[in-house]
Structure formats: C-alpha cells, structure tokens
A and B are shown apart, each in its own frame.
Chain A
Amino acid sequence: MNADKHTPDPVVGRYRVIPILHEGAMAQTHTANATPAIQEASGLPGKLVADWHDRAIARLGELLKERRGLQVFMDTCTKCGACTDKCHYFLGTADPKNMPVARQDLIRSVYRRHFTLAGKLFPKLVGARDLDKPMLEDWYRYFHQCSECRRCTVFCPKGIDTSEVTMAGREILAAIGLGQQYSQEIIGKVNSVGNNLGMKKPALANVLESLEEDILDETGLAIRLPLDDATADMLVVTPSADFFAEPHVDGLIGMAKVLHAAGIHWTLSSEASEAANFALFTGQHDQMQAIALRISTAAQSLGVSRIVMGECGHAWRVAYSFMDTLVGGFDYLDPEHPRPEHICELSHELLQSGLITLDPSRNADKVVTFHDSCNVARGAGMGNIKGGQFTIPRALLRASVPQLVEMSSDTTHQKTFCCGGGGGLLTDDLMEVRVKGALPRAQALQAVVSSDKVTHLVAICAICKTQLSQVLPQHDLADVQVTSLHHLVGDALVL
C-alpha cells in the first residue's frame, strides 16, 4: 500500500455535498404490489382490504407492544437533524422523504395522532397526521426506498434505528394486502422449494456437478461441491445466487477450494439451499422464523456439528444476531463451534492455523478495495472479537492480494454506505432508486480508482455483488470488477 500517496477525498467525505431538497423527486417510484396469489400463499389478504385504515392502526398498536425498539424510537426522536444527510438514498435522490427522520415520520406522525395525548388533542401543533390514502401511498413508496442498512443509526444520538421503522411499515402494508411482489414472491419460493430461485434439488445437483467439472478443468483436482451428504461434519449455507450468478459463483468455487485444501468434510443442503432470509426485510417475524428453521432442521437431519454461512450480508445478520431467538439454541453443534460461523471466520482460522496457505502474488494483477456490507458491518459481528467483521475479511484479503486500498473512512467500517440494493430493493422496478442510491459508494470508489488505480471491488454479500455489478457502469465505473472475497482467496490458495 502507498501510505504516502495522497488520496483525494471523494465528494462524499470531507467535501461532502448535501443536496438541496427536491420535494417529490422520487414520488413516481413504485415497486410492484404482490399478486393476490403470492399474498394468499403467505396467509395475507390478496388485495387492499376494505377496512385497511382500522386494521393498519390496530397492527401498529400490536407492533408497538411487540417491538420495544419501535415504541422507544417513536417517542424519543427530537428532530435534531443529525441523520438528515446520512442516507445514501437521500444523498442520491434529494427527495426529503428519503431523509431517515422524514421516513420515520411517515409512521411517527400517525403514531402521534392515534397513540399520544398531544397528537389527539393538537395534531397540527405536534405534526400528527391521519393515515389517509396519500399517506398510505407514501408508506408504500418510501418504505421501499430504504435498504434497512442502519447507517443513520450510527449518527443518531438517541440510537434510533430506521430499519425497525421500515420493517414495521412493510409488515403493516403486507398485513392489509399491500405486500411487495419481489420480496413476498421470494419468501414464497423459499417456503415451497428451499431457495430464493425456486431451484429444485435435481437442478441444483446438476449445477454443482457442472461446477465440479469446471474446477477439474481449471485445477486438475477433483474438488467436490457435495449436496445432502449425510456423512458431512459441516453444513455450508450460502445465498442461492452463488449457484449461478456472476461474480458470486466464483466465490462459491473459492470456498470449495478452501474447504478441500483444509480437508474438511462438508456439504450443502437442498432443504436449506438458501442463506438469505427476506422476511427480515419485510419485518414478518413468523416468516423469518420459518425460513431460519429450515437451516437448523437441515443441520440436525444431516447430523453436522458445524454450520457455516457463505458470503451474504443479511443472512449473516440473521444467523449471528437472531438465530438463537428464532430457533432456539444450538446444543447439537460442536461445543467448540456453538453457533453459525461466517465463511471468512473459518478461512481466517484455517489460515492462522496453517491449514491453508495463501500466495498473494497470484493476484498480482489486481488492486483491490473492500466494500463493507451494511448488515455485516452494523448488524452483526464476527469471530468473537469486537469489530471482527472489519478486521477478519481484511486480514484474509491482505493475505490474498498484494495491494489493498481503503476508500474514504467516512464510507467504510461502521460508516459504510449501502450498495443501494439491499433490504428487498434489488428488483428491476426500483432501478432508478438503486442507481441513485449507489452514488455515495460510487463516489468513494471513483476516488480510489483515480488515486490508486483500483481494479477490483470486493464484497461479501450477494446483494452487494449483484447490485454493484449492475449499477457501477451507470456511474462510469464499468472497468471495476466486482468480486467475491473467496474468489480472490481461492485464486491465492496454494493447492
């Protein structure tokens, strides 16, 4: 690394440019409503119910009792404005309703009207509002312009987490018949087939076989990608994008190489062929539990003693922070590895104990920067040390590539910017939001491309990888390769 080389600040960073408000800038955005069939498959009303107002208020009342965070966040916001210039969607769109506090206020104003003395008596004075049709439309629009990345929370002196508010908003919307097609369809596929793609076992087996052939051609080694191997010690659960999408699939191959080199007896599961849990995005706790349960059921029926999660941001948040609450403990796992582990944690451990060897010179043609994924950075941890989610992937990268360049510190680690496609927004009908929301990340990347000739952006999240490879070209960054961390680890691996 060139420590002495001056890195110019990106526009976001020290010379931050805060847009002038453009009211209604993103008011035309509308992600498709879930079809009646999709809604009903999840036990939700097929279309907007006639008594939607009363049911929405009743559901809000229930959520306030079920989620302490939501109740506290409704009461403690002082409108101090600390968050107003922190959201990538606001910075990219200038729409004031994309300021985190304004997004929260879509619900908070209704909360004040129906659940507070001041709002019942003096609505105008305290900014209390009725839940009318235009407000309902704003809920649908702007709760689908939040990726639940929690960057605003980092700057909030009350610790208010907008993602909790967005989740509550989406949960209420789905409960009155206004689910989002993209997320609800995916949740349905996981429930019926086992993964977001709806890829059945024979198709999955075929894909894995052909990947094994590719690896054989490349390395001359019979490196396996086992499926439902009941003799395995370790279950690997990875996002289904890893089975077919670029650049994800190279990450899966890298993972297979690492596990092979370390002599680990592992398997994938057709029952739990999906790490992702989109019910986190929609705020539906019952669905989140059902999806999480697939993983622990598969682990127990396969009789494994370790669970390892692949490169997926929100899956890691669910596995790290929520699994215990959702599906009970992990007494069936090896007491040395009593909870799901991250693939980076595992590879790092193997590297440190000398079970694998990495040769960075094999990646000598690459200059790499690391994009911290929001759910890993702010929703989880890694490796039993505070901040492990930052140090462990970087340690692996440093061992795999000769040159790792950091983007502006305002855009990495805890302050990382979302890729712009997280939280259930990775759908074509939100492309404008996604391109604009990627602006802060693109600016920070542009700076290191200019200063250090960065060639590769590394991520450990399937959504980040898909989103950034699709939108970076729109920001004149088509030459930067978006790469899986384990692709580089696999390439550096001495087999």
Chain B
Amino acid sequence: MFDTLVGIAFSLAWLWLVCGIAYRVSVWLGARSRFLIPLAPAPRSRVGVLGRLFLEVFTFRSLARANRTTWLASLAFHYGLLWTLVMHLRFAYEVLPIFIVPFIRFGIWATLALVTGLVILLLRRLLIDRMRYISSPSDYLHLVLLLCIALSGVLIKRVWPTNLFEVGEFFRGTFVLNWMPLPDHAGLIIHLSLVLILLFVFPISKLVHGVGVVFSPTFNQRDRS
C-alpha cells in the first residue's frame, strides 16, 4: 500500500515536472520581446549566439569572470550532478547498458565533486556577509536538500546497500502507471522522499534557472544593426 502511494507520487512528480517547466517556458515565451537588449559586444550571427549560449550553459563563462571560487564550486556541483543523473539512468533499463558502466565505475568521484561543490556553496552563503544579506531561508534549504539527497544516496549505495534491480522495476513502473513494490529499506525511503521534494520544488523555484538561462535576452539576442 505504502509502496503504491510512493509510486503514484513519483508518477505525479514526473507529470508535475514536465508540465511545470512547460508552463514556466510558456510564461517566458508569452511575454513580449520588443527591444533588442543583448549585452554588448554581442555576436552578430546566429551561430555566434549559439556559441555564447553554449559557453554560458556549459562553462558558466560570466561566473568565471565574476568569482573563481564560486565558479569552481558551481562547476564541481553541476557536473557532479549531471554525472550522477546519467548514473541513475541505469534504473530505466532492465539490462545495464554499456554506456552507463564508466559513469558508475567513477561515480564516487562525481559524488565527491557534487558534495564538495555544495558544501563550498553553502559555506559561502553562511560566511560572507553579502551572501547572508541576499539569502532567504529557501536559498539555504535548496542546498541542504541537495546535500541530503547526495548523502542519503551515498548511504544506500555504499554503506547500507539496497536491491537495485527492484528499485529499477519500481521506477520503470512509475512511467507506465504500473506501481511496483520497493525494497524494504528505510534509507531508500528517505532518499526517495527528498527527491520527491526536489522534483516538486524545481519548476516553481529558482532552480528553473537551468532552463531559464537560454531565454535571457541579454544572451540569446544578436547584434542586428
């Protein structure tokens, strides 16, 4: 019964995530974009704009200009997270695909990068007076939530293992509304509950910046004069 509820929650969470992001994007695209406000000097070609967006999205170029510590911590966190997400794709397959194997093999380094990045970002927010001034409770809680997800994940992977095959069955079920039982494992339930919170918060919080950055007119417009 409980497992079914968790399964339904995840099915709803996927729907919420997709619809939430789609709604946010529709709000952005629905707003009128009348004036050309690219940050100059701006690329003069569309290819140039793609290049600019690529550098901003994948190298955090502007952040690199601003502050080296934040930049390195952000890179470590975001790439650690990306790596970890790829690792989690294993749960989508009944047979482990070969491309995920190296990600799992070196997964511990990704986790380390992710956690280190988060800890530095959290420490900055706590220790620097300017950061404290601009932070709301949610700004700390986002970091704490991610940190707890990472640590509970490490726990059920390395310290207190669970049945990964059953977890896979459960997740594949959530996409086709076939709610399967979960392994009886308290650590896993904690990990999954935290992930549910993250999925719920993502489209209605600042976490949508990952999608929003490409809609920023200062980045995505070109110099058309």
* A contact set with B: CB distance below 8 Å: 18, 20-21, 64-73, 75-86, 96, 99, 101-102, 105, 116-118, 124-127, 150, 153-161, 164, 285, 320-322, 324-325, 339, 377-381, 384, 386-387, 389-390, 414-415
A72 touching B225, Cβ below 8 Å: no
Does B163 sit at the interface, judged by CB under 8 A?
A: no
Residues in chain B near residue A71, CB distance under 8 A: 27-28, 31
- Bound CA–CA A443/B137 (angstroms): 37
- Bound CA–CA A188/B112 (angstroms): 61
B138 touching A126, Cβ below 8 Å: yes
B218 touching A161, Cβ below 8 Å: yes
Give A63's nearest chain B residue, CB to CB: B31
Residues in chain B near residue A415, CB distance under 8 A: 65
Among residues 159 to 194 in chain B, which have CB atoms less than 8 Å away from a CB atom of chain A?
A: none
Separation in Å of the B42 CB from the closest CB of chain A? 7
Separation in Å of the B30 CB from the closest CB of chain A? 7
- Bound CA–CA A378/B218 (angstroms): 10
Across the A-B interface, how many residue pairs have beta carbons closer than 8 Å? 193
Residues in chain B near residue A75, CB distance under 8 A: 24, 27-28, 206, 208-209, 212
Give A386's nearest chain B residue, CB to CB: B41
B129 touching A99, Cβ below 8 Å: no
- Bound CA–CA A83/B24 (angstroms): 25
Residues in chain A near residue B108, CB distance under 8 A: none
- Bound CA–CA A320/B62 (angstroms): 24
B62 touching A155, Cβ below 8 Å: yes
A82 touching B70, Cβ below 8 Å: yes
B40 touching A159, Cβ below 8 Å: no
B134 touching A159, Cβ below 8 Å: no
Residues in chain A near residue B42, CB distance under 8 A: 381, 386
B225 touching A320, Cβ below 8 Å: yes
A154 touching B217, Cβ below 8 Å: no
Give B216's nearest chain A residue, CB to CB: A159
Chain B interface, >50% SS class: helix
- Bound CA–CA A79/B70 (angstroms): 12
Separation in Å of the B213 CB from the closest CB of chain A? 5
A158 touching B204, Cβ below 8 Å: no
B212 touching A153, Cβ below 8 Å: no
Separation in Å of the B208 CB from the closest CB of chain A? 6
Residues in chain A near residue B213, CB distance under 8 A: 76, 157-159
Contact partner of A66 (CB less than 8 A), chosen from B24, B31, B131, is B31
Can you give 28 A-B contacts (C-beta < 8 A)? Answer: A65-B32, A67-B32, A68-B28, A68-B31, A68-B215, A72-B28, A76-B206, A76-B215, A76-B216, A78-B207, A79-B135, A81-B131, A82-B63, A116-B204, A117-B204, A118-B204, A126-B138, A155-B63, A155-B66, A324-B225, A325-B34, A325-B36, A339-B225, A381-B223, A381-B225, A386-B41, A386-B44, A414-B41
**What 0/1 readout, one digit per residue, does chain B (29-63) give for beta carbons within 8 Å of chain A?**
11111111101111110000000000010001111
Residue among B42, B66, B208 with most chain A CB within 10 A: B66
- Bound CA–CA A378/B223 (angstroms): 12
Give A66's nearest chain B residue, CB to CB: B32
A78 touching B206, Cβ below 8 Å: yes
Chain A interface, >50% SS class: helix
A79 touching B225 in the complex, CB below 8 Å, given contacts A20-B129, A72-B28 = no
Residues in chain A near residue B41, CB distance under 8 A: 381, 386-387, 389-390, 414
| Interface residue count on the B side (C-beta < 8 Å) | 58
Give A77's nearest chain B residue, CB to CB: B206
- Bound CA–CA A126/B136 (angstroms): 6
A76 touching B70, Cβ below 8 Å: no
Closest 4 CB pairs of A and B: A127-B136, A155-B66, A159-B216, A82-B66
Residues in chain B near residue A69, CB distance under 8 A: 33, 37, 216-218
B134 touching A99, Cβ below 8 Å: yes
Residues in chain B near residue A155, CB distance under 8 A: 62-63, 65-67
Residues in chain A near residue B158, CB distance under 8 A: none
- Bound CA–CA A80/B128 (angstroms): 12
B218 touching A159, Cβ below 8 Å: yes
Residues in chain B near residue A85, CB distance under 8 A: 130
Residues in chain A near residue B125, CB distance under 8 A: 81
A124 touching B212 in the complex, CB below 8 Å, given contacts A78-B206, A155-B62 = no
Give B218's nearest chain A residue, CB to CB: A159
Residues in chain B near residue A126, CB distance under 8 A: 136-138, 205
- Bound CA–CA A160/B61 (angstroms): 14
Does B83 sit at the interface, judged by CB under 8 A?
A: no
A79 touching B139, Cβ below 8 Å: yes
Residues in chain B near residue A80, CB distance under 8 A: 63, 70, 74
Give A18's nearest chain B residue, CB to CB: B130
A125 touching B40, Cβ below 8 Å: no
Residues in chain B near residue A159, CB distance under 8 A: 39, 56, 62, 213, 216-219
Separation in Å of the A333 CB from the closest CB of chain B? 13
- Bound CA–CA A494/B7 (angstroms): 83
- Bound CA–CA A86/B24 (angstroms): 29
Separation in Å of the B21 CB from the closest CB of chain A? 11
A157 touching B206 in the complex, CB below 8 Å, given contacts A67-B32, A69-B218 = no
A84 touching B204, Cβ below 8 Å: no
**What 0/1 readout, one digit per residue, does chain B (106-150) give for beta carbons within 8 Å of chain A?**
000000000000000000110011110111111101000000000
Residues in chain A near residue B219, CB distance under 8 A: 159
Separation in Å of the B55 CB from the closest CB of chain A? 11
Residues in chain A near residue B67, CB distance under 8 A: 81-82, 155
Give A81's nearest chain B residue, CB to CB: B131
Separation in Å of the A154 CB from the closest CB of chain B? 7
A377 touching B218, Cβ below 8 Å: no
- Bound CA–CA A378/B205 (angstroms): 30
- Bound CA–CA A410/B124 (angstroms): 23
Give A375's nearest chain B residue, CB to CB: B40
Separation in Å of the A114 CB from the closest CB of chain B? 14
